[in-house]
Structure 1
Amino acid sequence: MSPTRQRLQITAATPDPALLDLPWHIPLEEWPAETLAALPRGISRHIVRFARLSGRVIAIKEIGETVAYREYELLRQLRRLDVPSVEPVGVITGRRSPEGEPLEAVLITKHLQFSLPYRSLFSQSLRPDTATRLIDALAVLLVRLHLAGFYWGDVSLSNTLFRRDAETFAAYLVDAETGDLHEQLTEGQRAYDLEVARVNIIGELMDLQAGEFLEEDVDAVAIGNALAERYRELWRALTEVESFGYGERWRVQARIDRLNDLGFDVGELDITSDLDGTTVRIQPKVVESGHHSRRLMRLTGLDVGENQARRLLNDLDEYRAATDRQAEDESFVAHDWLTEVFEPAVRKVPREMRGKLEPAQIFHELLDHRWYLSQQQHRDVPLNEVAKSYVKHILPNRPDEQSILGIQPGDLRDSTDTIPTIDDDQLIG
């Protein structure tokens, strides 16, 4: 049976005709190298491959037809809820080999640029603060999923991708096949998800230790427990009821400010008072993440991570003070900062090196490098000088995170002459 005679069924919101050019008549595990993109893969119970399609990279997972359609719809719903997750492209069924043998359906998602699986981040040179930042990112993701009513069912590092977000990481859901979306989760569902996360993470870290990819003195159990504690702390901050005296109404704004500092906006509050007016109770009713990133988007059009946005906004505020323009409309000042500061600095990076990091992450690291040089030279070093030093001394040592070569830790260890390894000094910037 000719591969062109297959009766493929493509389900996609915006189908790309180029999908028909991929070798769907071949089992995914046997796809030719010239079709594939060399990108790091995490551990998966299914066969997963990356391929180039119309100038972008897609992830393809062979999976049962029913599960493929279900996961596709779940990912679409998560995207509508603005939860960090991979973007679904479509489902393809009806695949057959040239001999007429049926092949499994595939789920197609967009590759998340500048993201890495945890096995590409954990190495023998891992430092404790890096592990903490990864766990913090996963805790924030889990809280956001639970606030949206999503029960994951298989929370793990393997089912998560990580991207740099200034000095921290941002976590994205990759695998949703065990998940389910509800109007609101019960305490039991949240507790079970959290316990699964804790146990899975401990197991994954112990597995790395057994393979000598993680130092033995790293306490895997403590890291797993830290995830649970961080989750509970964040959940309380976002949802618990707070009571205070009637004369302390300033604490309403203080609660909102505290949530903003955590990166969340409060869309609605439930405020009640006792009959005698002596006590006021406050509880956030609608909490949305992305407080700083939404503000930066509104002012500049830049779509960046939450902590990147926080850093860029701080620099914008410094620019506004340095130019004595506090009385001017913020949007006008933001436009000038974008065209006079941010864009010229990012353009100092040679075109061939721009795939290493996102522009916002590059600017964040430029600000860090400026502080270091200014401390070293006891003067305010202009950003032009900083950019030249950064491009010459710092950026060449960064892995190319847009299309980093990476397979498994063992492959990296055996091929150090040709494949860049990732050590913790490169991660922390």
Structure 2
Amino acid sequence: MALQISATNPEHPALLLELPWQLPLEEWPEDVLVPLPRGISRHVVRYARAGDEVIAVKELAERPALREYELLRDLDRLGIPAVDPLAVVTGRVDAGGDPLESVLVTRHLGGSMPYRSMFETTMRPATMHRLMDALAVLLVRLHLSGFAWGDCSLSNTLFRRDAGAYAAYLVDAETGDLHPQLSTGQRDYDLDLARVNISGELLDLEASGALHPSVDPVEFGMEICARYQGLWQELTRTSVYPAGKYHYIERRIRRLNELGFDVAEMQIEHSSNGDTVTFVPKVVDAGHHQRQLLRLTGLDTEENQARRLLNDLESWMATQDDYAPGDPLAARPEVLAHRWVRDVFRPTVRAVPLELRGSMDPAEIYHELLEHRWYLSERAQHDIGLDTAVQDYIARILPRARETLEPTTPE
């Protein structure tokens, strides 16, 4: 069989042809590889450069490679946080004509970290709680979309910093299945696997001395279950309110938005005697603040980053002379938002030298600067201003944090 490259983008096959497909991944030369840390995997995985892109290349049999490629494409269409599928390479043979395994090619997720890299220095329990939150949100989003993961674990997840918290991304869909809707049994099976896998991974870290002494691996495995169940209940429960108390429904919707989920539609039923109203929301993918910020400014960020930037944008808009909500003659929010990007966001980010930014993207840099401004203002008991905060952050904070900001990439 001749070498075949099935790709999502017509430009990718030409770029991928330059790679040494006639060699097993374990034998690829250093000049085509990118030295990034990898996690534990059942398969051989390497990071390589294809044109201007850094790609992850995973060697596996043809059928599972094609299946995982299609599942990742499905998740992308559903807006689920997962690695981007770029191509499947089949028909590989070595110099002697012997067949080689097929390869799945995905895009490197910039600024992401495998959990083992995060534990190279002992991670505080508070940070581990944030990882469990991020993983629980990812699992809920997958289940709401009808995706049964089949192997939820820390090893199969990538983590990116998101305004002081973390965002979790699925990295391995090989064992997954997509359904119109998941049963309770399917969800419970996924959750039980997550509990067992996470406890096992943390026990392994404990044995290597990389786990904080106060962390109980079994308890943290149980924690993912508790966090998942609490989030699922909040997102899917039916609420019964007194008739006329429609602000209770608004309060529920706001709470869902704060969790990062949208209400696509709702079912409202009045009781036969008219005393109560039953409210059933249809919750869709997370990203309420992401979409709002993208619509207003064109900035594509993580959810928590978007929430923080929107708060700053709204505060700034309130100081503008042509800001008058409800006045048809006043500047539209989109106009003010683009002015904020031009006059505030971009100049602030550009003030931070490139060599000090490490793996932080512009939205994360801006969030860090807002946090530093708040800290300095609290200490000074008055608003010290963004310019002062930027200069202090560059002079005192970034030089000390530079080592922790170096880019890492998981598998």
TM-score tier, shorter chain, comes to over 0.9
Moved more, 278-287 or 54-63: 278-287
Which residue of the partner structure matches residue 262 of structure 1? 259
Match of 2:372 among 357, 366, 369: 369
CA deviations on 1:328-365 (whole Å, 9 max, x unpaired) are 42222212211111110000122333443010000000
Which residue of the partner structure matches residue 163 of structure 2? 166
Match of 1:131 among 117, 128, 131: 128
Match of 1:181 among 178, 182, 191: 178
Which residue of the partner structure matches residue 343 of structure 2? 340
State how far apart, in whole Å, the 2-side matches of 1:121 and 1:405 are: 11
State how far apart, in whole Å, the 2-side matches of 1:277 and 1:165 are: 45
Task: Give, as a single letter, the amino acid of the residue that structure 2 aligns with 1:39.
Answer: L
Whether contact under 8 Å (1:115, 1:162) holds in the other structure is yes
State how far apart, in whole Å, the 1-side matches of 2:31 and 2:159 are: 27
Moved more, 164-173 or 352-361: 352-361
Which residue of the partner structure matches residue 95 of structure 2? 98
Which residue of the partner structure matches residue 360 of structure 2? 357
- TM-score (normalizing by structure 1): 0.90
Which residue of the partner structure matches residue 20 of structure 2? 23
Which residue of the partner structure matches residue 13 of structure 1? 8
Whether contact under 8 Å (2:156, 2:172) holds in the other structure is yes
The structure-2 alpha-carbon separation of the partners of 1:226 and 1:326, relative to structure 1 and needing over 3 Å to count, comes to farther
Whether contact under 8 Å (1:292, 1:309) holds in the other structure is yes
Shift of 1:49: 0.4
Task: Give, as a single letter, the amino acid of the residue that structure 2 aligns with 1:339.
Answer: R
Shift of 1:223: 1.4
SS at match of 1:391: helix
Shift of 1:270: 1.1
The structure-2 alpha-carbon separation of the partners of 1:295 and 1:354, relative to structure 1 and needing over 3 Å to count, comes to same
SS at match of 2:266: strand
SS at match of 2:158: strand
The structure-2 alpha-carbon separation of the partners of 1:125 and 1:235, relative to structure 1 and needing over 3 Å to count, comes to same
Shift of 1:279: 2.0
Which residue of the partner structure matches residue 71 of structure 2? 74
Match of 1:216 among 186, 191, 213: 213
Percent identical pairs in the alignment equals: 55
State how far apart, in whole Å, the 2-side matches of 1:224 and 1:100 are: 47
Moved more, 393-402 or 199-208: 393-402
Moved more, 348-357 or 139-148: 348-357
- TM-score (normalizing by structure 2): 0.94
* Structure 1 moving runs of 4+ over 4 Å: 399-402
Moved more, 168-177 or 317-326: 317-326
User: What is the Cα-based RMSD across aligned positions, in Å?
Assistant: 1.7
> Where does the alignment leave 5 or more consecutive residues of structure 1 unmatched?
1-5, 408-429
The structure-2 alpha-carbon separation of the partners of 1:400 and 1:69, relative to structure 1 and needing over 3 Å to count, comes to farther
Does residue 1:41 correspond to 2:45, yes or no?
A: no
State how far apart, in whole Å, the 2-side matches of 1:279 and 1:52 are: 61
CA deviations on 1:24-68 (whole Å, 9 max, x unpaired) are 111101111111111121111100000011111000000010000
Shift of 1:398: 3.4
Whether contact under 8 Å (2:110, 2:409) holds in the other structure is no
State how far apart, in whole Å, the 2-side matches of 1:351 and 1:261 are: 33
State how far apart, in whole Å, the 2-side matches of 1:216 and 1:125 are: 9
Does residue 1:395 correspond to 2:398, yes or no?
A: yes
State how far apart, in whole Å, the 2-side matches of 1:47 and 1:356 are: 25
Does residue 1:298 correspond to 2:301, yes or no?
A: no
SS at match of 1:322: coil
Moved more, 380-389 or 82-91: 380-389
State how far apart, in whole Å, the 1-side matches of 2:292 and 2:409 are: 35
Shift of 1:405: 7.7
Whether contact under 8 Å (1:38, 1:406) holds in the other structure is no
